[in-house]
Amino acid sequence: MPAMSRPLISRRAEPLTGRAKVPGDKSISHRALMFGALAVGESRIEGLLEGDDVLRTAQAMRALGAEVEKLEDGSWRLWGRGVGGLMEPADLLDLGNSGTGARLMMGLVATHPFTTFFTGDASLRSRPMKRVSEPLSRMGAKFVTREGGRLPAAVVGTTNPVPITYELPVASAQVKSAILLAGLNTPGETTVIEREATRDHTELMLRHFGANVTTTIREDGARVVTVTGFPELTGRTVIVPADPSSAAFPLVAALVVPGSTVTLVGIGMNPLRTGLFQTLREMGADIRTDNPRIEGGEEVADLVVTSSALRGVDVPAERAPSMIDEYPILAVAASFAAGTTRMFGLSELRVKESDRFTATMNGLRACGVEVEAEGDTLIVHGKGAPPPGGATIAVNLDHRIAMSFLVMGMAAAQPVAVDDAEAVDTSFPGFVELMNGLGSAIEGN
């Protein structure tokens, strides 16, 4: 039977107040499970995001032979198999909605001598995988996919992997990570060159587990990331910081709901993930950083956010890799700002969980916001006042579209509804409860 939809409606909120801890970082949670499965001995993970995407990765690592269990104290324990020790799964791996899980895991299995079958939900099956299969094929793996390189797919791992040097044609931390993970079980050095810096959680965590990963900067500014094959990864403890992409929703809500002050605790502040915070500050947002610290090799801080009058800005294309998941909620913030906000270089938004570029633009228009597109530039004309709202948004299984427009409803002139918020649990389980705990008014529609 098809899953039941979960419509929600968001009405104007009283001032948002209080402290909140958003779920653990999704990118780091995926990697902690995968690297723990490749390590020798026991690993512990604290603060793991227990959303559907990450739980699918946990199940996939079990299918590949690792021991993965949740302990009574809420932490997770893994007993890994060592680099090159994964087992052929007895059934296909269903990654649900998770592009990160699917693409990174393709890299993991590409240099193991067995065949792995991948599938996912309708959204994931529509997303392109050629950007991963092309470099992994150069390393010796074979791929059988649907037309356009889409799932379901079979990855036939190679028995004789070949190290490569690969320059990313498009900035993508997922593709970079897939190649580096394939390089772990490959002799010699595997190198990825990126002209635009993307999130570096893979490099940081591989070093944490004991891999030899180097990052250098070429004369032209490109980053050269190299992993040496056949390391002995050793079980480690990973403390997962709160996800800055999830923090974006209560943060923007606090900015646009008048009279709000909200503290968000333990947010990951990796410089390659904080483009949204930088952009909002340029727009006039009052965001204060408290208690900066290092946890598990990652920068972490508390953010104190106070409602602010925002103004339109230009967001340069080179900032996109550091905030690619946050453009829908930034566009919502821009709809409250005074003046025009131009977001350049958003081609990657067209191949996320949905065509987020079009979904964002259509949702804003439905809510009475003046918005236009010029190529891969999204242009929002804010009036310095709450937008009309009053629409029901079709989210097409996209959790970030759903949460973005629920935030809009908290301060728009009329309520905003979404037709199905079921996908929100993939990245932010407990979103409605957390937001209503701060003072929002989200309820079943």
In a domain, 259, yes or no: yes
For residue 1, pLDDT over 90 is answered with no
Q: Does the annotation flag 174 for ligand binding?
A: yes
For residue 60, give the nearest of 98, 19, 3 by alpha carbon: 98
What percent of the chain is predicted at pLDDT more than 70? 98
In a domain, 65, yes or no: yes
> Are 252 and 410 in contact, with CB atoms under 8 Å apart?
no
Take residue 233 and report the two structure tokens written for it.
């990864």
In a domain, 322, yes or no: yes
Based on the fold, state whether residues 188 and 274 are members of the same structural domain.
no
d(CA 21, CA 16): 14
What's the domain count of the chain? 2
Range of the domain at 219: 26-239
In a domain, 155, yes or no: yes
**Cα distance from N-terminal residue to C-terminal residue, the chain:** 22
Which residue do the tokens 């649990």 mark? Answer: 425
Q: Does the annotation flag 302 for ligand binding?
A: no
In a domain, 2, yes or no: no
What pLDDT is stored for residue 148 in this prediction? 86
Based on the fold, state whether residues 45 and 160 are members of the same structural domain.
yes
The CATH number for 208's domain is: 3.65.10.10
Take residue 267 and report the two structure tokens written for it.
């947010």
Based on the fold, state whether residues 143 and 189 are members of the same structural domain.
yes
d(CA 380, CA 383): 10
For residue 436, pLDDT over 90 is answered with yes
What pLDDT is stored for residue 128 in this prediction? 83
pLDDT (average), residues 126-153? 94
- Tens of pLDDT, residue by residue over 234-264, are 999 999 999 999 999 999 999 999 999 999 9
Based on the fold, state whether residues 225 and 321 are members of the same structural domain.
no
Q: Does the annotation flag 414 for ligand binding?
A: no
In a domain, 230, yes or no: yes
d(CA 9, CA 126): 28
Q: Does the annotation flag 127 for ligand binding?
A: yes
Based on the fold, state whether residues 220 and 309 are members of the same structural domain.
no
What percent of the chain is predicted at pLDDT more than 90? 87
For residue 427, pLDDT over 90 is answered with no
Indicate the DSSP class of residue 336: H
In a domain, 321, yes or no: yes
Question: In the listed set 221, 239, 257, which residue is the last one of a domain according to the structure?
Answer: 239
Based on the fold, state whether residues 72 and 201 are members of the same structural domain.
yes
- Tens of pLDDT, residue by residue over 344-396, are 999 877 765 558 999 999 999 999 999 999 999 999 999 999 999 999 999 98
Q: Does the annotation flag 26 for ligand binding?
A: yes
- Tens of pLDDT, residue by residue over 253-301, are 999 999 999 999 999 999 989 999 999 999 999 999 999 998 767 899 9
Is there a catalytic annotation at residue 52?
no
What integer best gives the mean pLDDT of the chain? 94
The SS3 assignment for 322 reads helix
- Point out the catalytic residue in the list 325, 398, 420, 425: 325
pLDDT (average), residues 172-197? 96
Give 299: exposed, middle or buried? Use CB within 10 Å, 0-12, 13-18, 19+. middle
Based on the fold, state whether residues 193 and 47 are members of the same structural domain.
yes
What pLDDT is stored for residue 296 in this prediction? 67
Q: Does the annotation flag 80 for ligand binding?
A: no
Question: In the listed set 220, 239, 258, which residue is the last one of a domain according to the structure?
Answer: 239
The SS3 assignment for 250 reads helix
> Are 330 and 315 in contact, with CB atoms under 8 Å apart?
yes
For residue 2, pLDDT over 50 is answered with no
- Tens of pLDDT, residue by residue over 33-85, are 999 999 999 999 999 999 899 999 999 999 999 999 999 999 999 999 999 99
152 upstream amide cis, omega within 30 of 0? yes
Based on the fold, state whether residues 294 and 334 are members of the same structural domain.
yes
Q: Does the annotation flag 176 for ligand binding?
A: no
- Residue 230: CB partners within 8 Å, gap ≥ 6? 83, 84, 184, 185, 187
For residue 394, give the nearest of 3, 2, 4, 7 by alpha carbon: 7
Q: Does the annotation flag 355 for ligand binding?
A: no
- Tens of pLDDT, residue by residue over 389-402, are 999 999 988 999 99
What pLDDT is stored for residue 322 in this prediction? 86
Q: Output the CA torsion 100→278→440→324 (10° steps).
A: -20
d(CA 88, CA 113): 8
Question: In the listed set 208, 224, 239, which residue is the last one of a domain according to the structure?
Answer: 239
> Are 421 and 402 in contact, with CB atoms under 8 Å apart?
yes
Phi, psi of 354 (to 5 degrees): -140, 180
Based on the fold, state whether residues 190 and 264 are members of the same structural domain.
no
Based on the fold, state whether residues 45 and 17 are members of the same structural domain.
no
Based on the fold, state whether residues 284 and 262 are members of the same structural domain.
yes
> Are 22 and 247 in contact, with CB atoms under 8 Å apart?
yes
Relative orientation angle of helices 244-256 and 275-282, to the nearest 10 degrees: 20
Based on the fold, state whether residues 308 and 231 are members of the same structural domain.
no
pLDDT (average), residues 215-236? 96
Q: Does the annotation flag 400 for ligand binding?
A: yes
- Tens of pLDDT, residue by residue over 301-348, are 999 999 999 999 999 999 988 898 999 999 999 999 999 999 999 987
> Are 153 and 92 in contact, with CB atoms under 8 Å apart?
no
In a domain, 3, yes or no: no
Residue 341 parent element (H or E): strand 338-343
161 upstream amide cis, omega within 30 of 0? no
State the pLDDT confidence band at 423, using cuts at 50, 70 and 90: confident
